[in-house]
Structure 1
Amino acid sequence: MKNDSALATTHSPLPGLGGNGHGARLTFYWGPMDCGKSTLALQMHHNHGRQGRRGLVLTRNDRSLGPKVTTRIGLAQDAIEVTDDLNLWDLAYGKVDYLICDEACFYTVDHIEQLADLVDRAGVDVFAFGLASDFRSRLFPASQRLFELADEVHRLQVEVLCWCGRRGHLNARIVDGEIVRAGEQVVIGDTASHAEVRYQVLCRHHHRSGTLD
């Protein structure tokens, strides 16, 4: 990817592609860990930038612990970190044609409302990517609001398997080799086996039973 800045320095928006108050959409792409959400987010940013559109890449709580979108296949992109007090309307209104919102599950519900306003009132296309549910299999508040408001919702089709071979779609939090069911909703971890707090994608049966192998 040639452009690795959070803000793509491109030209005027193309006719009919956002920025004109018509046809903009709020789209939510969701799935478990390892299904390619961040990879698709960066590919989409690349494709829209090539067509002369001006966009921003946003993230929150990336695995790198920095203002970046990183992927497990080695792609990375500078991004703007979304904090509780960041107003996305003020950030983007009149400045961009689209937003790439990675890890949108960790945004606040107010952020999702601001994204919907940018689509409806400013003609900004918003592409949000994130998990649907937390380690307890409960919807993240921001994800729930995206399901409620999005013009389009897509479950990513890159298949992630549970250790048993069934399709995995729930993320288990594992501490000291055991699945935990209580604690803060957001605790940063990864899928690496050596991590102090790690996550593993399981099928519904083994997530509910707590069986890891």
Structure 2
Amino acid sequence: MAELHFFTGTMDSGKSTLALQTNHNHAARGRVGRIFTTHDRAGEAKLSSRLGLTHDAIEVAADFDFWRYVVDSLTRGGRIDYLICDEAQFYSRDQIDQLAKVVDELQVDVFAFGILTDFRSALFEGSARLVELADRMNVLQVEALCWCGKRATHNARTENGVMVTEGAVVVVGDVESLDGVPADRPEVAYEVLCRQHHRRRLTAARAKAVSLAPEPLPFG
């Protein structure tokens, strides 16, 4: 029986790498699949991992319909045994429902990969629906680490080096600083933190600045 799988973890936990490996494993056994992604760091219609691996993919726009795509492909004589769906946190609730319908009605396996919560520590719409519907939910065992060495559990966004907890949910950035950012746009980057330092808004850069600050004199 086909199943809807959801693989989740923070940034740097290897989700996209696992998505590419999953596709390789199934393709090596003669199965035929499709790869989907959205808002990937490498650009449109690309699935990329931070290890440098990339693969062509189908870009999932806001109005993309998984059910219609699979039905149309099968009707035209195509074969689809499984779907690889990266960056699934950005999919809409309706799109996750479509994936579940593909599994149940067409017996096509779906492997979805995504971050559970956004930079505000709130559940992404797509991830929340996957938690509700997935046959299997898997938390990746590769632990990303906060700058302090503890297990990272939260994703933080910085703008011009300052951590923010408000703003648009979808802003593409990376863990490295971005070049060529327009002067009127803040430089957006992401960092993984433990809960304590996310709560205190203490990023690696801020922690370093604090540690380099002069000690107060021992008298008033």
- TM-score w.r.t. the length of structure 1 is 0.88
- Distance in 1 of aligned mates of 2:54 and 2:81: 22
Give the letter aligned to residue 187 of structure 1: V
Which position in structure 2 is the counterpart of 1:98?
Answer: 82
CA distance in 2 between partners of 1:30 and 1:185 (Å): 18
Unmatched tracts of structure 1, length 5 or more: 1-22
Residue 118 (structure 1) aligned to one of 102, 115, 124: 102
* The one of 128, 153, 159 aligned to 2:137: 153
Aligned partner (choices 125, 138, 151) of residue 167 of structure 1: 151
Structure 1 match to 2:195:
204
Shift of 1:194: 4.7
Identical pairs, percent: 53
For residue 114 of structure 2, what is the aligned residue in structure 1?
130
Q: Could you tell me how far 1:193 is from its partner in structure 2?
A: 3.5
Matches within 5 A, 1:64-79: 64-79=42-57
Given candidates 13, 16, 31, the residue that maps to 1:53 is 31
C-alpha RMSD of the superposition = 1.0
**3-state DSSP of counterpart to 1:173:** strand
Counterpart Cα distance in 1 of 2:81 and 2:95: 18
- Counterpart Cα distance in 1 of 2:89 and 2:154: 14
Q: How does 1:184-195 map to 2 (within 5 A)?
A: 184-194=168-178
- Alpha-carbon distance between aligned partners in 1 of 2:55 and 2:103, rounded to the nearest angstrom: 24
The one of 34, 41, 46 aligned to 2:19: 41
C-alpha distance in structure 2 between counterparts of 1:37 and 1:194, whole Å:
22
- Is the 8 Å Cα contact of residues 177 and 188 (structure 2) preserved in structure 1? no
Q: Which amino acid aligns with 2:100?
A: A
- 1:25 partner amino acid: E
Which one has a larger percent helix, Structure 1 or Structure 2? 2
Q: Does 1:87 align with 2:53?
A: no
**How far did residue 159 of structure 1 move?**
1.1
Q: Report the count of equivalent residues.
A: 191
Deviations 1:59-96 (A, max 9, x none): 01000122100111111000000011111011123341
> What TM-score results when the alignment is normalised by the length of structure 2?
0.85
